[in-house]
Amino acid sequence: MQIRIFTIPIFGGDAFAEDMNAFLRSKKVLQLDQQLVNHGQSSAWCFCVRYVEDNSPFRGAREKVDYKEVLDAESFERFSTFRKIRKEIADDEGIPAFSVFTDQELSEMAKVKDLSAASMKAVKGIGEKKMEKYGRFFISKHREDEKG
């Protein structure tokens, strides 16, 4: 673990802030502490960053998946419906959509013809908590579509 200290003036500190942001994007941050140092016009924020080097070859190199090509037509239709449900939930809760379910999780759910709590929990990444919190929205919509 390494430590780096940043001091960013309250007034005119934009360039310092950008330097810190560039640094943070390039490291794996373990902890960030901040303190306001109040000295009138010379006031500044002081940041202590504890980090490790992130030399992962996969950092930022995510491959985009075209689920229309990967899924059959019926599964892709369910996948699209599930994405709409996920967006509504995320918007209501003020969280990123991937926090509800990732596209990968949704695509695996979409492949299941008879979606249930058990089949959802069988999908990698979906545990008891996600199932309890969000599962009912997807299962009920799936059952509506099967009836209609």
CATH number, residue 77: 1.10.150.80
Query: Do 71 and 143 reside in the same domain of the chain?
Result: yes
Q: How many domains does the chain have?
A: 2
Helix axes 73-93, 103-110, angle to 10 degrees: 140
Nearest 10 degrees: Cα torsion 22, 26, 31, 36: -10
**What is the structure's pLDDT at 73?**
94
If asked whether residues 98 and 74 sit together in one domain, one would say: yes
pLDDT at 74: 93
Dihedral pair phi/psi, residue 112, rounded to 5°: -85, 125
pLDDT tens per residue across all 148 residues of the chain: 899 999 999 998 888 988 998 888 888 888 999 999 998 889 999 999 999 876 655 555 567 889 999 999 999 999 999 999 999 999 999 999 999 999 999 999 999 988 899 999 999 989 899 999 999 999 876 566 655 5
Quick one: 72 and 106 in the same domain? Answer: yes
In one-letter notation, the amino acid at residue 124 is K
First-last CA distance in the chain: 57
Tell whether 92 and 128 lie within a shared domain: yes
The whole-angstrom separation of Cα 103 and Cα 16 is: 37
Question: Is residue 61 in a domain?
Answer: no
Tokens standing for 24? Answer: 């943070």
Q: What is the pLDDT of residue 22?
A: 87
58, part of any domain: no
Measure CA 10 to chain center. 30
Cα separation values, 90 from 29, 93, 101, 140, Å: 26, 5, 10, 18
Is residue 37 located within the same domain as residue 91?
A: no
Range(s) of the domain holding residue 37 = 2-53
In whole angstroms, give the CA distance from residue 70 to residue 141: 22
Let me know whether 77 and 28 are in one domain.
no
In sequence order, the 6+-apart residues with CB closer than 8 A to the CB of 102 are: 125
Q: Does the residue 73 lie in any domain?
A: yes
